[in-house]
Structure 1
Amino acid sequence: MVAPHAVYVKNRNWVDYSPSVAVSWAMKYICKVKKDCSDRLHSTSWLTATSYSIKVIYQNLCDQIPKVNWHYFVWNRYTLPKNRVTIWLALHDRLKTKERLHRYGVTMDETCALCGHDTETSAHLFFKCHFSKECCSMVLAWLGFISSRNNLFTLLKWIHRYCKNSFTMKVVYAAVASTVYQIRKARNLAIWEQFVPSIACTVKTIQVTVKHRVMSIIVRNKGY
């Protein structure tokens, strides 16, 4: 059934974005999506094209979105999924740090739970805090790297430039992501259980996690 006030053309595509208020919510949503697509494509020619391909429209829409410069740091198969989420939030400065919670009026204490000195921000946790800086340095040394960079994004960019081998780069990314996750976990333990794990214990957990993840993928790829 043709909806009132909507134009129906030969190729059976709706081209009107303002259907009658009497049409169903599904039809209203379809019209809204079509308007959004036309706005992003800066054209309505796709509505009246003689052939239609979902793949082509999807690719055209993706081309409209600017490329982010951190995607290869996060979406790495050698990194555990939960670690990917944590480092993704850290890179976006969306982790619920004490400084962030203080701004929302949730807590009055902004002091880092790991070092007890500075304000707990994402920048402080990764990696200006003494605890996190030592963890990161020891993990990098374990992989044969030395870096004094105390900013997460700067460190990841340095790894991208310095590592020439793709496999090594992905393993180091996985190790940094695991470090971010374990530091976040240690911070939560310090707040909720008043217990701060040792740096050595934290680094050992990171090493075991990374080794197990990398070996499991290698074995899977070889079909053992």
Structure 2
Amino acid sequence: MLQLKPTLQNFIKCEVGDGTTASFWYDNWTDFGQLITFLGVAGPSQLRVRRSATVIEASRNGDWNLPAARSIKGQSLMVAHTELPAPVVSRGPDMFLWRKASGNYSHTFSSKETWEQVRHRSPMVPWAEIVWFKQHVPRYSFIAWLAMLNRLPTQDKLHRWGMNVPTSCVLCSSGVESHAHLFFECPFSTDLWGFLAAKFIPNPPCNLSAVVSWIASCNSPPQANTAAILKLLLTSILYHVWKERNSRIFTNAASTIHQLWTAVDRAMRDRLMSFTGPCLHSSLLLTYFSHVSPVSF
């Protein structure tokens, strides 16, 4: 018989029917949870019910068949059993229920409901909707997420970890490679970001936290399309900057700023044209095309 860990048992409750499936000691079928946890390892000997027993084995002829209580907890259990009917075949098979986020139980399992109860919720970070948004590209947002958390293995970080690596930025050769430098103190990445972002709002900031605040301020309905495009543009540029950095370090291949402008523009157009639904497709494309023309590259 499957014996689940107590932590998982907190999410499963058993409604005893005929008692032939539910474990007497390991299933959550009373208000005390797992009885092996409630009464302890001495419980099976105190109640004279073997550890592998099903609920039906603690009854006889439709009544509970348990010895007199020998502890305070045992007395509590006996009192509870006077109000709990013993298993009988006429009640049908035992039913296992899953706890919902509301605290109620249901016959159906929902991974979302269970995850909401298991997860540790942290305060929402201000950049969450900038990185994870409806139109996002997963690989772009993943790199953007790591960049926001300062978790990318930049050269300064590798050096602090004791690795013998050069710390200079391979994109500009004029500064120590760090998150702050790459996004966007580096002249190369600043040109990449600034040139494209300026087509939507003049004088875009060149600091990642300031960029996030700037894009968040555009989230009002009149600028919803612009905000969606700016989010996609930012995550795309973060991705392409990191990809170019890796290409120069690991393959010795370098792209010009013009080539990266073109690559980001192509990525933007491909993503915008991939959306389903004529309204969303047309409005976002129109917004982008009205600001960015291929001839500008």
TM-score, normalised relative to structure 2: 0.57
Q: Say if 1:126 and 1:180, in contact at 8 Å, map to a contact too.
A: yes
Q: Which residue of 179, 186, 191 maps to 1:122?
A: 179
TM-score, normalised relative to structure 1: 0.73
Question: Match of 1:114, SS?
Answer: coil
Query: How many residues are aligned here?
Result: 196
Task: Report which of the two has the higher share of strand.
Answer: 2
Deviation of 1:212 after TM superposition, in Å, equals: 1.1
**2:216 partner amino acid:** H
- With CA pairs under 8 Å and 6+ residues apart, which has the higher RCO, 1 or 2? 1
Q: Which residue of 152, 161, 170 maps to 1:113?
A: 170
Return the alpha-carbon distance in structure 2 between the equivalents of residues 200 and 17 of structure 1: 67
Q: Which residue of 270, 278, 286 maps to 1:222?
A: 278
2:137 paired residue number: 80
Aligned counterparts, 1:47-66, within 5 A: 51-52=104-105, 59=116, 64-66=121-123
Return the alpha-carbon distance in structure 1 between the equivalents of residues 230 and 35 of structure 2: 50
Question: Match of 1:176, SS?
Answer: helix
Task: Report which of the two has the higher share of helix.
Answer: 1
Query: How well do the aligned residues superpose, as a CA RMSD in angstroms?
Result: 3.4
User: Residue 98 and residue 50 in structure 1: after superposition, are their counterparts in 2 closer, same or farther (change >3 A)?
Assistant: closer
Return the alpha-carbon distance in structure 2 between the equivalents of residues 175 and 124 of structure 1: 19
Name structure 1 gaps, 5 residues minimum: 25-45
Name structure 2 gaps, 5 residues minimum: 1-21, 42-50, 53-98, 282-297
Q: Which residue of 10, 34, 42 maps to 1:14?
A: 34
Q: Which residue of 229, 239, 248 maps to 1:190?
A: 248
Return the alpha-carbon distance in structure 1 between the equivalents of residues 172 and 125 of structure 2: 33
User: Residue 185 and residue 59 in structure 1: after superposition, are their counterparts in 2 closer, same or farther (change >3 A)?
Assistant: closer
User: Residue 63 and residue 186 in structure 1: after superposition, are their counterparts in 2 closer, same or farther (change >3 A)?
Assistant: closer
Q: Which residue of 116, 119, 125 maps to 1:68?
A: 125
User: Residue 199 and residue 60 in structure 1: after superposition, are their counterparts in 2 closer, same or farther (change >3 A)?
Assistant: same
Q: Say if 1:11 and 1:50, in contact at 8 Å, map to a contact too.
A: no
User: Residue 148 and residue 169 in structure 1: after superposition, are their counterparts in 2 closer, same or farther (change >3 A)?
Assistant: closer
Deviation of 1:50 after TM superposition, in Å, equals: 8.7
**1:14 partner amino acid:** Q
Q: Which residue of 177, 185, 207 maps to 1:151?
A: 207
1:179 aligns with 2:199: no
Deviation of 1:106 after TM superposition, in Å, equals: 2.4
Aligned-pair identity (%): 25
User: Residue 126 and residue 52 in structure 1: after superposition, are their counterparts in 2 closer, same or farther (change >3 A)?
Assistant: same
Return the alpha-carbon distance in structure 1 between the equivalents of residues 192 and 264 of structure 2: 9
User: Residue 208 and residue 190 in structure 1: after superposition, are their counterparts in 2 closer, same or farther (change >3 A)?
Assistant: same
Return the alpha-carbon distance in structure 2 between the equivalents of residues 168 and 95 of structure 1: 28
1:31 paired residue number: none
User: Residue 170 and residue 50 in structure 1: after superposition, are their counterparts in 2 closer, same or farther (change >3 A)?
Assistant: closer
Q: Which residue of 103, 124, 132 maps to 2:189?
A: 132
Return the alpha-carbon distance in structure 1 between the equivalents of residues 28 and 219 of structure 2: 56
1:199 paired residue number: 257
User: Residue 216 and residue 51 in structure 1: after superposition, are their counterparts in 2 closer, same or farther (change >3 A)?
Assistant: closer
